[in-house]
Amino acid sequence: MNTNLKRTITALAGTAAVLTTIAGPGSATQPVAAPDDARGVLVQPDKKGEVKPGALDIQRVKVTHTADRLTVRVVLPGVKEAGAYPLGWIQTYVDTDSTRKGPEYVHDMNFYGDYEFGEAENWKPASTKKWDHSPDGRCVATTSLRPDATGHLRFFEYTVEKREGCFFTTDAVRVAVTAQNDGVHDPYKVYKTPRTDHLGAKHTWTPWVGPAAS
């Protein structure tokens, strides 16, 4: 049995209810939802109101892990004006190997720049030329900022295809998320101090999840 699967089973065995708590480094305990490994789905809530202005205040993150795809959705509180997306970025980190420190992959999304998915080094995108091309690299199936019916930003989501020579694992994965709001686009204003929010605390992982049972 692989290490990730053992850790997933251990986490589930210790979960007495759908919702429990874990402690992230340097933070108070935070709620953590137990993964639904039958469907390969995990919904991880985050404490609301941690940053103001709160355009990129992470509300929750949904991870859907199947045999051929990984989808990560970062839910946001939205913005007051339709289309008024903030300056800033969201990085989602993917861990596939519990024996290796840090993530193996990272998706880097800039609201007014390129999106990129590739290998990670020390919690940053690695200098891997074959993955450096815009918009996302060849492994990403879809990437989108999703508004609601009125055009207000509600969540950011991307889906990565799993295949050899790209992002591929038959084991469980876990993610960490950081969002940074650098300012507003209209009227243009850059904050002296960026508003940074993490899912839980900086570099805190969700529980292991998936892939979905076939």
pLDDT tens-digit series, residues 134-165: 455 677 888 877 766 666 677 888 888 888 77
CA atoms within 13 A on the CB side of 47: 17
* Mean pLDDT within 61-72: 94
pLDDT tens digit sequence for 72-129 = 999 988 766 656 678 999 999 999 998 989 999 999 888 877 778 888 989 988 866 5
Higher model confidence: residue 206 or residue 1? Answer: 206
Q: Which of 14-23, 53-62, 95-104, 105-114 has the lowest average pLDDT?
A: 14-23
CA dist 26 and 201 (Å) reads: 7
Give whole-number Cα distances, 162 to 72, 157, 167, in Å.
Answer: 13, 16, 5
Assess whether pLDDT exceeds 90 at residue 172.
yes
Angle at the Cα of 127 (from 122 to 132), degrees rounded to 5?
Answer: 125
Record the tokens describing residue 34, joined without a space. 């137990």
Q: Where are the domains of the chain?
A: 3-198
pLDDT of residue 1: 47
Grouping H, G, I as helix, E, B as strand and the rest as coil, residue 72 is: strand
Percent of the chain with pLDDT strictly greater than 90:
37
Rounded to two decimals, what is the model's pTM? Answer: 0.80
Phi (first) and psi of residue 11, to 5 degrees: -65, -40
190's CB contacts (< 8 A; 6+ apart) are: 87, 182, 183
Q: Of 71, 64, 30, which is closest to residue 198 (Cα–Cα)?
A: 30
